[in-house]
Amino acid sequence: MAKAGYHHGNLKQALVEAALRLIETHGPTGFTLSEAAKTAGVTPAAVYRHFEGREDLIAEGARQGYTIFADLMEHAYANGQPSALAAFGAVGRAYLAFARKFPGHYMAMFESGISPNHDPAIAQASARAEAVLTRAAETLSRHIPAGRRPPAAMFSAHFWAMCHGVVELYARTPPGTRTQFTPDDLLESGIGIYLRGLGLIPTDA
């Protein structure tokens, strides 16, 4: 009979959710399988019905995170149309929103050391999210003369790095700890500076 903490009717998902809560509190390497089992309300032996070890459990949390992430990015991009510039900004805001709303998933994806190539399912979900950024970059960069146009993959990589940097440095600490500016303002102004440099939006008068 299952312990009181386990009531989902889905042992595998209960363990993933337990791991994600522990990741939020202790980081991706700050908990054991026994602690994940205890949090889910099952015995440690039950974990091995679905996962080979802690890395496999974290990888499933990362896979689910990438899937949610890709869904949010695609939704943001679609809602930002028909303006390529608006769609680009919407994708950036979705990145910050995901990191805030799903911190356990975010940490499993980006701070656990698990590569997107860990297994095909993670690679596929990660590629789908990256494809949104590449598509946004391609659409926006069509407004740049061909001779000055950066490769879309480089454009999207710059954008991803900017979003990720804002999250890591400024969205993971209490407001005002590192700067008086909000993460949203920092990202918006950073995007503006970058796009002005490419000639995609006019310089301030």
Q: Where are the domains of the chain?
A: 1-51, 55-197
pLDDT band at 2 (very low <50, low <70, confident <90, very high): very low
Q: Give the integer Cα–Cα distance in Å for 138 and 19.
A: 37
Mean pLDDT of the chain: 86
CATH of domain 55-197: 1.10.357.10
CA dihedral 50, 51, 54, 56 (to 10 degrees): -120
Pair of tokens at residue 157: 């990589």
Instruction: Give long-range contacts, CB 8 A cutoff, 24+ apart: 185-193.
Output: 187/92, 187/93, 187/95, 187/96, 187/162, 187/163, 188/89, 188/92, 190/162, 190/166, 191/88, 191/89, 191/92, 191/159, 191/162
The pLDDT score that the predictor gives to residue 174 is 66
| Proportion of the chain above pLDDT 70, given as a percent | 91
Residue recorded with tokens 């799903």: 102
pLDDT (mean) for 187-205: 79
Q: Give the integer Cα–Cα distance in Å for 125 and 204.
A: 39
Q: Helices 11-26 and 33-40 sit at what angle, rounded to 10 degrees?
A: 120
What is the chain's alpha carbon radius of gyration, rounded to the nearest angstrom? Answer: 20
Contacts of 98 (CB under 8 A, 6+ apart): 68, 69, 72, 105, 106
Is the CB of residue 42 less than 8 Å from the CB of residue 2? yes
CATH superfamily of 1-51: Homeodomain-like (1.10.10.60)
